[in-house]
Amino acid sequence: MMGKVRPTIVKRTARKLLSKYPDIFTDNFEENKKIIDQLIEYQSKRVRNRIAGYITHLIKVIKKKEQ
């Protein structure tokens, strides 16, 4: 199975936000989108959504490993 291709800026920003604020993100994309809107300012909705999607993905992976 091949993974999705994501730009480095999306991955780097998502990991940085997750390490800085590990408790505020959930596995809900819509909530993460709103949180990211408050934390950082991006010109494009697309980049914000990609970061929110990647954070959601990472949270789900972390939860799966914990089980």
Q: What is the pLDDT of residues 17-41, one digit of tens each?
A: 999 999 999 999 999 999 999 999 8
For residue 6, give both structure tokens: 């994501």
pLDDT computed for residue 47 by the predictor: 93
Structural domains in the chain, sorted by start: 8-66 (1.10.60.20)
Average the pLDDT over 6-10 and give the result: 91
Whether residue 21 contacts residue 58, with contact meaning beta carbons closer than 8 Å, is answered with no
Mean of the per-residue pLDDT values for the chain?
92
- DSSP result, 2-61: PPPP--HHHHHHHHHHHHHSTTT--S-HHHHHHHHHHH---S-HHHHHHHHHHHHHHHHH
The predicted pLDDT at position 2 comes to 67
Return the higher-pLDDT residue of 1 and 35.
35
Q: Are 47 and 9 in contact (CB under 8 A)?
A: yes
With pLDDT > 90 as the criterion, what percentage of the chain qualifies?
82
